[in-house]
Amino acid sequence: MAKNDPTTKLPDTHALAELELANASLAERVGELEAELAQRDETIAQLTAQTARDGEAARSRVHGLQMKLTEAEGQRDAARDGALREVEAGRREIQGLLHEVEGLQHELVRRSTARAPLAFDITALLDLHRIVGSDSDRYLATARRLGDALVAEHAEASARR
């Protein structure tokens, strides 16, 4: 190879160092964001499982309540027909039914007003866009400078031949 052959010349080490630093910074931030997304995925999975359990518990309570309401309707009809069993027992059952209805109502209100511990923050995505955008712009600018320098050196070497 000739002395002035541009293929034997090493690229600008400062530009390469800038590229490596930009790349490392970008890789580190991407790793942080991937870890954050993995944590959010785990949180979503946990919330989904909890929601399924809560839904099943609510369905079970509603079914139990429907059974008791059906029984209370039967007692009401029996009282109307004059075949009412012990009045005090009927009163206790109705009180228990009212207590259960209040508990279910309280539970439904609590669940409907509860805030999920998951609030996706759009600013995190905007930060990623800003970071990736600014780092990639800097990375590309450095790469262009390095490429332009190599092209210029190659052109000079070709002109000297």
In which band, very low, low, confident or very high, does the pLDDT at 119 lie, cut at 50, 70 and 90?
very low
Which of the two residues, 36 and 10, has the higher pLDDT score? Answer: 36
- Contacts (Cβ under 8 Å, ≥6 apart) of 53: none
Other Cβ atoms closer than 10 A to 35: 10
Least confident of 48-62, 82-96, 130-144: 130-144
Q: Is the pTM of this model over 0.85?
A: no
- Contacts (Cβ under 8 Å, ≥6 apart) of 132: 26, 29, 30
Other Cβ atoms closer than 10 A to 124: 13
Which of the two residues, 86 and 98, has the higher pLDDT score? Answer: 98
d(CA 25, CA 32): 11
In which band, very low, low, confident or very high, does the pLDDT at 1 lie, cut at 50, 70 and 90?
very low
Look at residue 63 and tell me whether its pLDDT is greater than 50: yes
Question: What is the pLDDT averaged over residues 20-33?
Answer: 86
Look at residue 61 and tell me whether its pLDDT is greater than 50: yes
